[in-house]
Structure 1
C-alpha cells in the first residue's frame, strides 16, 4: 500500500468486484454502505462490500490491505478444508471485527511478510511464498469471523446452507458434471433458486463457480508432466482435447500448452 490517504486513492485501489480486506492500524476511515455509515478505527477489520464507498479518511490513517479477484481468493487456497465457508466470507462482509491487540499484532506481521515476498526477487519460490502468506491471512480472517461473529450473524440460514452444499458438491464432482442442473437436482432445488442463492452468497453465478473449479483442477493437472493434454481433457470430461483447450483459453487467455510451458520459467 503506497497511497491510502484519499478517497480518490481508495477508488483506484479497491475494485468493487474484487475481494478487499482492510485492517486499520491507526486513524479512521468512513464508509457509506447504503443508508448506513461504517467507521473503522484502530484494530478494526473489514471485508469491504461491493456496495460500500469511502466518504472520508483522517490524515493519520494507516492500514493493512489486500485486494484480489474473488476467483483468486477462492481457487488459490492451499487446502480445501473449510469448503464453502471461505467462499461465503469472501463474498461479502457481515460485520466489522474489533480485534484484540494480540490479533492485530499477528495480522500486521502476516501482512508485512506478504508485502516483503511480493517485492522480493531473491527467491525461486517467491510465488509459492506469496500464496502461502495470502492464504494464511485469508484463513486467519475466516477464523476471526467465526470467533467474533457467532452472535452477530447466522452463517447457517437456508440460503447459505444451500450455497455451501453446492460448493462442496462442485469440488467433488466438477471433473464429471459441468452443468448447473446436476447440482440443482442433487440439492432438490430449482436452477433459478440455486443460482440466486449462490450469487447472494459469493457474488458470482453458479455456472461461473463451476467453471472456476474446473480451471482450478486443470491447473493442478497441467503441473503433472506425465499427463498429456488429451488425458487431462478426458479426465475433466470434455468431448475432446479441442473442447478442453477452447474452454481453458476462454478463461485464462492461454492454451493448456502455453500455460504448461509458462510453469517451466
Structure 2
C-alpha cells in the first residue's frame, strides 16, 4: 500500500459491467464487497446505503462501526473507508453519486443545508425503526423502477429521490441527538482540499492560496465553524494518513516517512509524537 487508494465511479463502471450505472450515479440493488478495495480507500463519490438484513462492520476514518439492520449509512468523499470482508452476512441496497449529479439542478436551499451537514461529518450511521425503514425502502424501490427506464425524465426522478434521502438522513441524525452545524462552502472546500493534498502540503498558506482567500480569513472561518484551527485540521489529517499506513506491517517506518513527504524518519517521528502523544513505532505496537 503506497498511499490511500482512491475509488472512482468510472472504475466501478469499467470493472463491473453488471452494475446499473448512469453517467453520474451507480445503483446497487445488492452489495457485493468484491466491488470495494480490501485496503482503506477514499472515493470520489457519495453513498447512501440501506442495510436491510444482517450485521455489517466497516470503518470511517479509523472509527469502527458494527451495525445491525435496519439502518441507513451515509459516506462522503473526505473520509477514509474500509469494509470488513470476513463476515458477508447481510443485505444492503445502495446508491453512489457524484457531487455534480447532486447539485446539477439544485433548486431547494434545504437540500444544500442537509448536504452541508452530512458532509461535515465524513459519514454517519443511523439505526431505523420500522416506519423509517419503510420510508427508505420505498425510496430505493423508486430508484429500482427508474434505474433502467427509457423515460427521458428518469435522471430527474433518481436525483429527486436522492434529495429526499439526504433530507431524511439529516433529519434522523438530528432526531437522535446528533445535531450538526451547517458548514459554509469555504469550510467544506478546505476539508476536501486537506484530504487530497495534506501529504504534500501542510501549510495554511498553501490552502489559502488554493482557495483564493487570505490565510488569516481562512483560519478564522475554520476555527469559528469547526472548533479547530486550520493548522489543527491539517495535522489531524496527516496523523490519520500516517495511522493508515502504519497498519501495513510490511512498510518500514522510514518508508512511511518518505511516502508522507517528510525529510527523514526522525522528522516524521517527532511530528507524529507531537500530535499523537506516542511514537510511530509505539502506535504500531498497539495495533
TM normalised by structure 2 equals 0.50
Q: Quick one: which of 36, 46, 70 aligns to 1:10?
A: 36
* Structure with greater proportional strand content: 2
For 1:106-255, list aligned pairs within 5 A. Answer: 106-121=135-150, 123-148=151-176, 150=177, 152-153=178-179, 155-156=180-181, 160=182, 163=184, 190-194=217-221
Equivalences, count: 176
Alpha-carbon deviations, 1:41-97, whole Å to 9, x = none? 211212135212102364442112111123333444341235434223135345421
| 2:130 matched residue in structure 1 | 101
Which of 93, 98, 105 pairs up with 1:64? 93
Per-residue CA distance 1:84-141 (angstroms, 9 max, x = gap): 34223135345421111111011011011012112111x2322222222222222222
> TM-score if structure 1 supplies the norm length?
0.54
- Mind listing any 5+ residue stretches in structure 1 that lack a counterpart? 168-178, 202-265
Q: Is the 8 A contact 1:30 1:38 kept in 2?
A: yes
CA positional deviation for 1:34: 4.3
Which stretches in structure 2 are left out of the alignment for 5+ residues? 1-27, 189-209, 229-287
Corresponding residue for residue 248 of structure 2: none
With over 3 angstroms needed to count, the CA separation of the structure-2 counterparts of 1:73 and 1:31, relative to structure 1, is same
- List structure 1 segments (4+ residues) > 6 angstroms apart after TM superposition: 164-167, 195-201
1:46 pairs, out of 73, 95, 98, with 73
RMSD: 3.8
- Whole-angstrom CA distance in 1 between matches of 2:56 and 2:111: 31
